[in-house]
């Protein structure tokens, strides 16, 4: 077996273990790749239950009051530190343990409600929202999801109040995007009572201020010479824990403490293992799903701030005797920010609701949300920046800070390139397996094989002849729903065609994957927007409002998103891929 083949086998085995353990309900994103519109997960637009909404409103009011008074994003950026009184205040309001169950001291809010809290913080200070994410979305997430009752009882109460802080430590020098390549070693002691950890972690948010770190390390697989990743709870008071760099100086989110640490023969009791031994990669990736969801919320908050700032400036700054908002090229930017902010909120809400409603596998949706919202926010900030002209460049306005802060979003918690490729490959796996069934049976016919191939063929055929129905309730959005259905049908044809034309090599064709993933992301975003718009129309109708409320942002978003989707699908047949790859190879030289 060549090295590449061995690597591919390893990746497939890891992916199988992570993603495809047993039959599961068909999620929305996977459905898209099969040509289905799985409406139950996205329509009607999810709402926070009334009882919880009251509690959330109270928390939000308290949070806003506190942030107005005590949060100074400029000072946090300048001093590269989040003051303890801010952390304590967030703990007091309950922000640091929002989703923790009541029995462990949290308010037990849903992920949807939690996203509203993060949106509020993200609209004001990215350092603070990343700090909260590092602690609550990922730092204590493995404990919340995979901890035993005893572990939760022992560790959670202090973590949910912020008396203690959490961190999530996966990244190492050799394990960045390639998260499975963790090298930190965890050797079992002879008596089996503990593990001995050795290795280094880097780029870890909260590492130097956390009292409890979820650390991924490699443990031997009993009865074989293999190793697998296991999640451990590590505390910095354990002998052998060395903080190499408490606060690595950096460009943005400067208030967060991003650190490097080493473990030298650190003895960690076996009781500190989270989840099953050897299943740490699944633990890590599930944790990151939650992080990616609140990422979407933080980006939504920041995009809304961009809109507010852009509108304020466009309505007051005069040039050529007119306010800037009179110029069409300024209008275009403002319209796009408004449309994107609306879509980002809708997509975050729907994705969070998938978690709350118990969809088992939402990895694709959270990956789509993360890529989409982080890319859109970058554009929003750039547009708002441009509207402010030279003034945005100076540090007395928030936009230069927002730009520095936002740059990490496309890299952290899975770089957008890796997630884009992931979305395409995982999505194509379903139809790909059906085609494989058909090919294999054609090459080696068998009675059982023919039955399976027939079913697979009918599935594929069904999706190519049927335009999926997008069940909206308001006549005002019916045209958009029909368009969306047709685009999903076209998308399915394009996926089928790519699988038939490229077959196995498509696994390495990232330019093709990118178009397919981008189209899928816009289909998901459009669905969320349509669902939200439809529900707003229904709400207005129920409240007896006469005439359909116009929703200009939603309409613009759908028009632009549909145009982008057509562009991505068109690019599958008309592109410069060969020239791109040749020019890149020429620049890269001999490797």
Ligand X SMILES: Cc1cc2nc3c(=O)[nH]c(=O)nc-3n(C[C@H](O)[C@H](O)[C@H](O)COP(=O)(O)OP(=O)(O)OC[C@H]3O[C@@H](n4cnc5c(N)ncnc54)[C@H](O)[C@@H]3O)c2cc1C
Kindly list the residues in this chain that would bind ligand X in the complex (CB under 6 A).
134, 168-171, 176-177, 203-205, 250, 253, 258, 408, 411-413, 415, 417-418, 421
* Token pair in block for residue 54: 């009251």
Nearer to ligand X, 48 or 142 (CB): 142
Angle at the Cα of 179 from the Cα atoms of 247 and 177, rounded to 5 degrees: 75
**Distance separating alpha carbons of residues 253 and 495, to the nearest angstrom:** 39
Torsional sign, CA 369, 370, 375, 377 = positive
Q: How far is the CB of 559 from ligand X (least distance, A)?
A: 30
- For the bound state, the minimum distance from the C-beta of residue 482 to ligand X, rounded and expressed in Å, comes to 36
Nearer to ligand X, 184 or 569 (CB): 184
Q: Where are the beta strands (DSSP E) in 270-336?
A: 273-274, 318-319, 322-323
- How many angstroms separate the CA atoms of 541 and 535, rounded? 10
Q: Using CA atoms, how far apart are residues 14 and 20, in angstroms rounded to an integer?
A: 10
Minimum CB–partner distance for residue 435 and ligand X (Å): 24
CB nearer to ligand X: give 36 or 201.
Answer: 201
Q: Toward ligand X, which CB reaches closer, 247 or 357?
A: 247
State the minimum distance, in angstroms, from the CB of residue 349 to ligand X.
25
377: which 2 tokens? 């926010």
3-state secondary structure at position 326 = helix
In the complex, least distance from residue 422 CB atom to ligand X, rounded to whole angstroms = 9
11 flagged as catalytic:
no
Three-class SS state of 234: strand
Catalytic residue among 345, 400, 413, 553: 413
3-class secondary structure, 211: coil
Name the residue with the smallest CB distance to ligand X: 176
Rounded to 10 degrees, the C-alpha dihedral 570/575/581/583 comes to: -150
DSSP string, 49-92: -HHHHHHHHHHHHHHHHHHHHH--HHHHHHHTS--HHHHHHHHH
Of residues 28, 27, 34, the one with CA closest to residue 464: 34
Question: C-alpha 11: how far from its chain's center?
Answer: 21
Nearest partner of 465 among 493, 438, 487, judged by Cα = 493
Q: What are phi and psi of 273, to 5 degrees?
A: -75, 135
Q: Which residues are catalytic?
A: 413
């Amino acid at each position: 077996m060549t090295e590449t083949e061995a690597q591919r086998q390893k990746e497939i085995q890891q992916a199988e273990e992570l993603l495809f353990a047993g039959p599961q309900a068909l999620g929305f994103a996977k459905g898209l790749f099969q040509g289905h519109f799985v409406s139950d997960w996205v329509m009607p637009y999810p709402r926070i239950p009334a009882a919880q909404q009251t509690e959330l409103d109270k928390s939000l009011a308290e949070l806003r009051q506190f942030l107005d008074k005590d949060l100074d994003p400029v000072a946090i950026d300048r001093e590269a530190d989040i003051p303890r009184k801010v952390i304590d205040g967030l703990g007091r309001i309950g922000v640091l343990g929002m989703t923790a169950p009541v029995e462990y001291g949290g308010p037990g809010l849903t992920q949807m409600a939690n996203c509203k809290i993060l949106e509020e913080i993200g609209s004001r200070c990215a350092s603070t929202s990343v700090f909260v994410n590092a602690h609550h979305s990922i730092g204590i997430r493995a404990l919340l999801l995979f901890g035993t009752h005893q572990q939760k009882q022992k560790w959670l109460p202090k973590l949910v109040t912020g008396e203690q802080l959490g961190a999530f430590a996966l990244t190492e020098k050799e394990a960045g995007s390639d998260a499975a390549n963790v090298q930190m070693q965890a050797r079992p002691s002879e008596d089996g009572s503990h593990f001995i950890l050795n290795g280094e972690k880097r780029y870890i948010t909260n590492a130097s201020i956390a009292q409890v770190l979820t650390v991924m390390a490699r443990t031997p697989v009993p009865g074989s010479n293999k190793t697998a990743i296991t999640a451990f709870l590590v505390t910095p008071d354990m002998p052998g824990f060395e903080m190499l760099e408490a606060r690595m100086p950096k460009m943005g989110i400067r208030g967060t403490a991003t650190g490097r640490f080493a473990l030298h023969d650190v003895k960690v009791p076996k009781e500190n293992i989270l989840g099953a031994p050897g299943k740490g990669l699944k633990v890590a990736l599930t944790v990151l799903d939650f992080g990616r969801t609140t990422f979407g919320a933080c980006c939504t908050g920041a995009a809304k701030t961009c809109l507010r700032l852009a509108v304020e400036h466009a309505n007051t700054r005069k040039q050529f005797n007119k306010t800037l908002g009179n110029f069409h090229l300024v209008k275009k930017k403002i319209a796009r920010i408004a449309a994107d902010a609306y879509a980002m909120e809708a997509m975050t809400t729907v994705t969070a609701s998938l978690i709350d409603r118990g969809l088992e596998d939402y990895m694709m949706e959270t990956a789509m949300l993360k890529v989409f919202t982080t890319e859109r926010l970058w554009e929003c900030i750039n547009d708002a920046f441009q509207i402010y002209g030279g003034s945005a460049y100076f540090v007395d306005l928030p936009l230069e800070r927002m730009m520095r802060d936002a740059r990490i979003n496309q890299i952290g918690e899975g770089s957008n390139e890796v997630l884009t490729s992931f979305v395409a490959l995982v999505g194509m796996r379903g139809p790909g397996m059906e085609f494989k069934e058909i090919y294999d049976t054609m090459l080696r016919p068998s009675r059982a094989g023919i039955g399976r191939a027939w079913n697979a063929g009918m599935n594929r055929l069904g999706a190519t002849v049927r335009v999926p129905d997008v069940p909206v309730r308001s006549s005002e959005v019916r045209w958009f729903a029909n368009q969306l259905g047709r685009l999903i049908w076209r998308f399915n044809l394009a996926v089928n065609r790519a699988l038939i034309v490229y077959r196995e090599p498509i696994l390495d064709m990232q330019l093709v994957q990118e178009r397919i993933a981008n189209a899928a992301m816009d289909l998901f975003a459009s669905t969320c927007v349509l669902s939200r718009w439809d529900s707003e129309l229904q709400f207005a109708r129920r409240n007896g409002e006469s005439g359909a409320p116009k929703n200009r942002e939603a309409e613009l978003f759908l028009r632009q998103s549909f145009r982008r989707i057509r562009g991505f699908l068109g690019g599958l047949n008309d592109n410069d891929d060969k020239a791109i790859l040749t020019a890149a190879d020429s620049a890269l030289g001999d490797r």
